[in-house]
Amino acid sequence: MSQLSNRLLFPSIYSAAATILLLSQQTAAAEWKITPSLNLNETYSDNITLAPQGSEKSDWVTQINPGVSLTGTGSRLKANAGYVMQNLGYAEGSSRNVTKHQLSANANVELVDNLFFLDGRAAISQQNASQLGQHAVDNTSATGNRTDVKTYSFSPYLRHNSSDFASSEIRYTHNEANAGTSGLSDSRTDSIQLKLNSGTAFRTLGWGVDYSNEKTANTTTQDIDRESLSGNLRYLVTPKLSLTATGGYEKNSYISIASKPESSFWSAGFAWAPSTRTSVDASAGQRFFGNTYSINANHRTSSTAWALGYSEDITTTQSQFVIPVTISTASFLDQLWSAQIPDQTTRQLFIDAFIQSNGLPPALSEPVNFLSNRVFLQKRLQASVALTGKKNTLILSLFNALRDAQTSQTQDSILLGNTNQALNDKTKQVGGNASWNWRIGSRTSANLNAAYTRSSDSSLGSTNNSRSIRFGLTRQFQPKLSGSVELRRLQQSSSQSSNYQENAVTASLSMKF
């Protein structure tokens, strides 16, 4: 195992907790809450490996999943961590028995009042690895197309406000990413960012300067350096409408098969916030890869929340592991229920319980970050809406993501083999998700979730259509004891790999202590 892989294995599990303990003297006044939990889960599947028709094998899967959540809240600390040890046992194929670790942890601490801060984050999750393989919805399907993703980062920074004149920030960030897959490069990134923005004295015409320098070391592919310097202006037309402009220069060290990754860039747009419930930021411009556009719009009413986003950027699989480009389910629901549950702590507890009881993912429906060592241009559109009533909540989400490789196929030769190197040349994912929750009674709810994703690769002429539908009932027996039953059906049709379908039923019991 490489030196970088060794460094990634354990820090991703405990780095957030170690950071909190290291700073305990600074955060002694924080209020801490530790909640152990246990989930018992039994699943029957008529196609446990998602094999093609005629090769299906059924199996029972037993799960005993202990976990713990940790929250810390104080005037100078905010910390939140959740860990689950997922133990899966297969009745008909004990060789498949496995333990999976799942972690989501983040912390922010103010070390020196209004000056010195520290952010920390760690995560472990599992995801589908290849477009050509079976697309499982969770770890019970023994497909061989799932991989562990481990990331961690820490970021100390200085922030200072110079009266009304300007605010400044100097930030250093270190992050590492590992997907535990042979042929996919582990990465280690160190970056520094300097920001200077005008203060309230510049009310009509605001300004800013931003410099960043990032160095990424990869274990099996070329290292990448990225540097940019930019300035921005904001002109206040009305108290609710501003015109924006940005210009600068950027350069990247990777060897490109497309445009030279170095040039000046510019953009122009507007920011409109007619009320505290509505905001729209949009721009158009040009970078070394061509014309570029972006939009970020949000709107909420007493019973709805809406979001629309479009972005274009140069990125990698590893960088998206560290900072996923997603719409957080919890953040989206926080907008939805902010008016009905004004207290933030109470609202967060309600949202966490709602996500857990309904089996919602941590992020709304999104394209899969399929594994690749190549640098690519990603163009991503996502739209979501949530509606809530007295007994019903409906969440709809749509996405469209295009990836265009900027580096050569040889970067993926170890990962994909010589015959599939073109797999990541030019890919497209289109899909959506609909989730409906019906609160039948004070302690009982029904949940229906339907999802569809179409993945295609124009270089290979391949397409992959995945569909899933899940229906469940949840019952809260006691404040800390709940149970659920879920039925699911999966289907996949593919031009490159085998077609399959699966029917499964799951019963679970969840306890908190």
What residues does each domain of the chain span?
3-512
More confident: 2 or 196: 196
Q: Residue with structure tokens 């110079």? A: 162
Looking at domain 3-512, its CATH class is mainly beta
| Res 330: pLDDT | 74
Query: What is the C-alpha separation between 428 and 424, in angstroms, rounded?
Result: 10
| Res 3: pLDDT | 43
Residue 175 has pLDDT above 80, yes or no: yes
**Distance, CA of 490 to chain centre:** 23
Q: Residue with structure tokens 């953040």? A: 331
Residue 187 has pLDDT above 90, yes or no: yes
Sorted by sequence, the CB contacts under 8 Å of residue 429 that are 6+ apart come out as: 367, 368, 399, 400, 401, 453, 454, 455, 456
List, for residues 124-169, the tens digit of each pLDDT value: 999 888 777 788 889 999 998 889 999 999 999 999 987 788 999 9
Residue 281 has pLDDT above 90, yes or no: yes
Residue 453 burial (10 A CB sphere; 0-12, 13-18, 19+) = buried
Residue 435 has pLDDT above 60, yes or no: yes
Query: What is the C-alpha separation between 209 and 191, in angstroms, rounded?
Result: 17
Cα dihedral 422, 424, 425, 428 in deg (nearest 10)? 130
Q: How confident is the model at residue 21 (pLDDT cuts 50, 70, 90)?
A: low
| Res 358: pLDDT | 61
List, for residues 473-507, the tens digit of each pLDDT value: 999 999 899 999 999 999 999 887 779 999 999 99
